[in-house]
Amino acid sequence: MKALSRDPARWGMRAVAARFDLVGEERRFVLRRPDPHMGIVVLDGNMSKDALIGREVPWIGACFDLASGHGYCTSLQRREVRITGVDWGETIPSYGSIGREVPWTSARLTVASGGSNVALRSRAPQRARAASGESLRCYMSLARKMPSCQLPVESARVANRRIGTRIRGLLSILMLTAWPAFAAAPQFAAVTPDHAIALPQDTGAHAAFRTEWWYATGWLTTPDNQSLGFQITFFRSATGHDAADPSAFAPSQLIIAHAALSDPAFGHLAHEQRIARQGFGLAYAKPANTDVKLDAWKMVRAADGHYDVVADANGFSLHLKLTPTQAPLIQGERGYSRKGPRPEQASYYYSEPQLRVTGGVVRPVAAGGSSHGETPVTGTAWLDHEWSSTLLDANAVGWDWLGANLTDGSALMAFKVRSRDGHAVWAHAAFRKPNGEVTTFAPDQVDFTPLRTWRSPRTNTSYPVSMMVKTGVLTWKLDPLMDDQELDSRQSTGAVYWEGAVRVSREGVDVGRAYLELTGYADARRMGRE
């Protein structure tokens, strides 16, 4: 399981002090940075006259939705009422959420819309820069100072009334909000128990489903016997855009990637995130075989089943080869994996534990230090591949997940979806012995009990970084490689979560290495539960 914002409109891209061009083709438009590595944000609208959208502004940490659709106008909706410097207006009869976390600097801005017109206006005109078009039918590369405009702000209060409940979602790719009641909900493929996962063809992308991810984590050892942890995840998200749309800019899929390295010598998690829409050869997730790419980052499955992983991030790099030593572990019932009390709350899910790792990493450098180039590493990894179109239960606020490679060759997967009071909405575990025998555990046989917490100095979120995990009569103690393994992905998936390398022991004896994921704890703090 992986952590994304409940609201797909928060899956954004970080745009730091960058210039953007508004590029159009007939009635389809994109907001694009001249540097294509930043990715592309796509707008869909029918803005026939005096439409003003886009900018050349820096961005900071407030959350916005970019909403568009169905032959109407495009608007920005504010999501966090505590950001008081911006007013919002919208007159959108129907829309689908396509858009991002787009934080702004201290300029006071007004978003005004009326009829089929939308404007982004600065109250301090000397600070305003934006793309503008008099007739947005077919044009390229518009980026000018935005003229003053007097479009009406008709429904800012309406937008604000909707905000409170929308920002409280579980940080989860499975907890996507439903489309607005007045919009035509896109149709995605359903997860059903009568379909069995078939490998290797199901290692590829499943574009008909709403969300999907390929997730690899593991422990690495350097030549001088230092321990490191790594994570790389590629997400694919279907936007619900009309597949019959002939526009080259139609945003049918978003590709998101996270990479991280846990290095105790560095002291905290080094991580980076990227996002782009699929297309133009810059980002894709191909069917039939794992082949996922976002700029120069990639995860590719070769004909012999091994994975090549490349991520050159800011301050660290991963160049790894993950080679299977065991058969895949098909989770649930032939891959149908329940995530809640209702049958439709499910995903298709398989794992590849006990992957042998070789390759090299560039380790992050502490302040005042110097890089020593690429360090060769060996290790053991775990890979998850999961896809779904459904929501988690409304009572769920987060989850705890464990993927453990045990030293005797066994593999353990366990998760607990938590309610607001900490009890299990759903839980499950699977334990595979070295001989291939698999034991599964029902919800009442699985539990995660906190032993010790760590509080983030950046977000003030408290995480149970040491846990006791129960699977039937067996108990497993988890202790982190280091406490500070918090990943802030608000610039891409909307989630703040803890994802870290942990040691596994039983009755005081070291029995393996694992990764532990803890989501929803940052949301719990914002909702006043701490």
- Tell me: pLDDT of 170 over 70: no
Between 91 and 336, the more confident residue is: 336
Whether residue 192 is contained in a domain is answered as: no
Residues 395 and 504 in one domain: yes
Rg value, the chain, Cα: 23
> Which of 166, 187, 220 is at the close of a domain?
166
Whether residue 186 is contained in a domain is answered as: no
Task: Of 74-78, 131-135, 494-498, give the lowest mean pLDDT range.
Answer: 131-135
Into how many domains does the chain fold?
2
Whether residue 63 is contained in a domain is answered as: yes
- Tell me: pLDDT of 245 over 60: no
Could you tell me which of 459, 460, 505, 458 has the C-alpha nearest to residue 480? 505
Residues 160 and 54 in one domain: yes
> ω before 353 within 30° of 0 (cis)?
no
Query: Which domain CATH number covers 327?
Result: 2.40.370.10
Task: Of 108-117, 201-210, 481-490, give the lowest mean pLDDT range.
Answer: 108-117
Residues 157 and 209 in one domain: no
Residues 158 and 240 in one domain: no
Q: What is the pLDDT of residue 276?
A: 86
Alpha helices in 364-517 (DSSP H): none
Over residues 169-193, mean pLDDT: 52
Whether residue 171 is contained in a domain is answered as: no
Residues 410 and 305 in one domain: yes
Maximum distance among all Cα pairs of the chain, rounded to whole angstroms: 73
Residues 136 and 236 in one domain: no
Q: What is the pLDDT of residue 317?
A: 97
| CB-based contact 320:326 (threshold 8 Å) | no
Residues 215 and 149 in one domain: no
- 427 beta partners: 416
262-312 pLDDT per residue, tens: 999 999 999 999 988 887 788 999 999 999 999 899 999 999 999 999 999
> Which of 144, 166, 188 is at the close of a domain?
166
Whether residue 173 is contained in a domain is answered as: no
- Tell me: pLDDT of 455 over 80: yes
Residues 310 and 446 in one domain: yes
Structure tokens of 63? Answer: 């959350």
pLDDT band at 225 (very low <50, low <70, confident <90, very high): very high
Whether residue 496 is contained in a domain is answered as: yes
Task: Of 178-192, 254-268, 409-423, 446-460, give the lowest mean pLDDT range.
Answer: 178-192
> Which of 166, 190, 212 is at the close of a domain?
166
Whether residue 178 is contained in a domain is answered as: no
121-130 pLDDT per residue, tens: 333 332 222 2
Could you tell me which of 204, 259, 261 has the C-alpha nearest to residue 234? 259
| CB-based contact 321:308 (threshold 8 Å) | yes
Structural domain of 52: 8-166
Most confident segment among 12-21, 56-65, 363-372: 363-372
Residues 298 and 445 in one domain: yes
Residues 154 and 291 in one domain: no
253-273 pLDDT per residue, tens: 899 999 999 999 999 999 999
Whether residue 373 is contained in a domain is answered as: yes
pTM: predicted TM-score of the whole model, two decimal places: 0.69
Residues 262 and 139 in one domain: no
pLDDT band at 251 (very low <50, low <70, confident <90, very high): low
Residues 418 and 286 in one domain: yes
Between 224 and 92, the more confident residue is: 224
Between 178 and 523, the more confident residue is: 523
- Tell me: pLDDT of 19 over 50: no
